[in-house]
Structure 1
Amino acid sequence: MSQPEITPLYDIMARLRTPVSGCPWDLEQNFATIAPYTIEEAYEVADAIERNDMAALKDELGDLLLQVVFHSRMAEEAGHFGLQDVINAICDKMERRHPHIFGDRSIDGSAQVVANWEAIKEAERHGKSEDKSAMADVAKALPALLRAQKIQKRAARTGFDWPSVEGAFEKLDEEIDEVRDATTATEMHEEVGDLLFAAVNISRHLGVDAEVALNDATAKFERRFRGMEAIAGDAFEKLDLDAKEALWRRAKIETAAK
């Protein structure tokens, strides 16, 4: 099989961004306007994987690759860096963070690979950033649950963590009480946030990915709700809560059997 060639895609983007003769929409874009599409394409890749749809995955990976080329082209136009610089940088990083493959370091299993990766990453961060905090460079644009997990992991690496999950459970109980006691909209906002953060802490201690777990729980709820609607038909919205609870129990059994 021949080596993949990214030049045609680069040439297409260069033509789209050519002043006057290029595409008006593409020419109007900047990093900030394209960023939401980049995030959206990453989610669509994840969705194709979740559905095990390889044809869709091929298309979505192409859309995601286009985002890399688009950002790189805009950066090149502004004199910052080009696509080749992006490729060189990630190649250097992958070799640097795999010293057991590209260097002489020995490892014992995948857990040590992860530990080495994090240690190298932290050394890189401290070497190039003026922000020396353990919280440095945790992206603010991450989904809230994922960012909470990363922030908590960073804190835990400094020793600031519950010694066991029991402390996290006690904190969750405390936060539930504080939500109940909240009286103003501001207090409710703050306490619900603290409650969610405490729940993420429990998931982290249990080795559960909070983002994935919530997505799975939401999908399960949607399946069961659709099951309720299918059973009741057009009469669903007119049913009282007791009838809908009965439908929920039935849908729970039927969807679990599929």
Structure 2
Amino acid sequence: MKEFDRLVEIFERLRAPGGCPWDAQQTHQSISRCAVEEAYELVDAIDGGDLDHMREELGDVLLQVLFHSTIAKDLGEFTITDVINDLADKLIYRHPHVFGSESVSSSSEVIRNWERLKKKEEGKAGRESILDGIPESLPALLHARKIQSAASRVGFDWQDAGGAAGKVKEEADELLDALARGDAEEITGEIGDLLFSIVNLARFAGVDPESALRRTNRKFRKRFSMIEAEAKKRGVALEEMSLQEMDELWEKAKNEPET
């Protein structure tokens, strides 16, 4: 595709002698966080339903793929063509019901086959644990959900959502006990346990915890902004308002329709 070839040529020129000094100096390590940041900015655009922003952020994510591939080419490691061919081969291998002779009757069967083939690939990679292929650098909520799902696939799981919900209550009670004792290390551990159990309950409910928390964050920001706007209208700084006054404004904001 000539448009993609043009993009590759532009970026290779940026990295070449006489190009951009900053681009030429970058390494896999120096820009590694950029991939995470750009992915989150894309998610933000998707959540906001802003198609123009989404289009822009997809380009920024593609830039990260091209950036690392060009660095790798300069080092003699691999090229963008290798990346594309590897991905194409993986998609064909993991969709035998489309590109092979297998047949499936449902999406759940597709997922089971995908996981079976993925596990076979991981076995060839010499991984000893089903958790070995899950990066610890993932955001904590996502990492928790992935290791819980992996454990569930071999039967290490609650029988139903009731068991997961009971674990949330148990961990909440243990946190309250730790707070009463005032041991900072114990409190930290119990908060982690509570968060882990909530992620597990979300998994049983079919809810993505990252998306759920982002939604609540947006809701809080919107309501708090309404409090700030009302305070400004009254000519009063938030710091000068009582907690009761702010609570009243908060309740008013809660009754506003969601957008």
TM range (shorter): over 0.9
Q: Distance in 2 between matches of 1:12 and 1:140?
A: 34
1:83 aligns with 2:114: no
- Unaligned stretches of 5+ residues in structure 1: none
Alignment of 1:1-258 (within 5 A): 3=1, 5-19=3-17, 21-128=18-125, 130-182=126-178, 183-233=182-232, 234-235=235-236, 236-256=238-258, 258=259
- Normalised to the residue count of structure 1, the TM-score between the two structures is 0.93
- In the TM superposition, what is the alpha-carbon distance from 1:32 to its structure 2 partner? 1.3
**Does structure 2 retain, via aligned residues, the 8 Å contact 1:227–1:255?**
no
Q: Distance in 2 between matches of 1:105 and 1:137?
A: 26
Q: Distance in 1 between matches of 2:120 and 2:247?
A: 54
Q: CA RMSD in A?
A: 1.5
- In the TM superposition, what is the alpha-carbon distance from 1:109 to its structure 2 partner? 2.0
Q: How many residues align?
A: 253
Indicate the SS of the match to 2:6. Answer: helix
- In the TM superposition, what is the alpha-carbon distance from 1:171 to its structure 2 partner? 1.5
Identity of aligned residues (%): 45
- Unaligned stretches of 5+ residues in structure 2: none
Indicate the SS of the match to 1:16. Answer: helix
Q: Distance in 2 between matches of 1:228 and 1:255?
A: 15
Q: 1:94 to 1:42 in 2, by over 3 A?
A: same
- In the TM superposition, what is the alpha-carbon distance from 1:4 to its structure 2 partner? 5.6
- Normalised to the residue count of structure 2, the TM-score between the two structures is 0.92
Structure 1 runs of 4+ aligned residues shifted over 3 Å read none
Q: Which AA in structure 1 matches 2:74?
A: E
Q: Which AA in structure 1 matches 2:140?
A: A
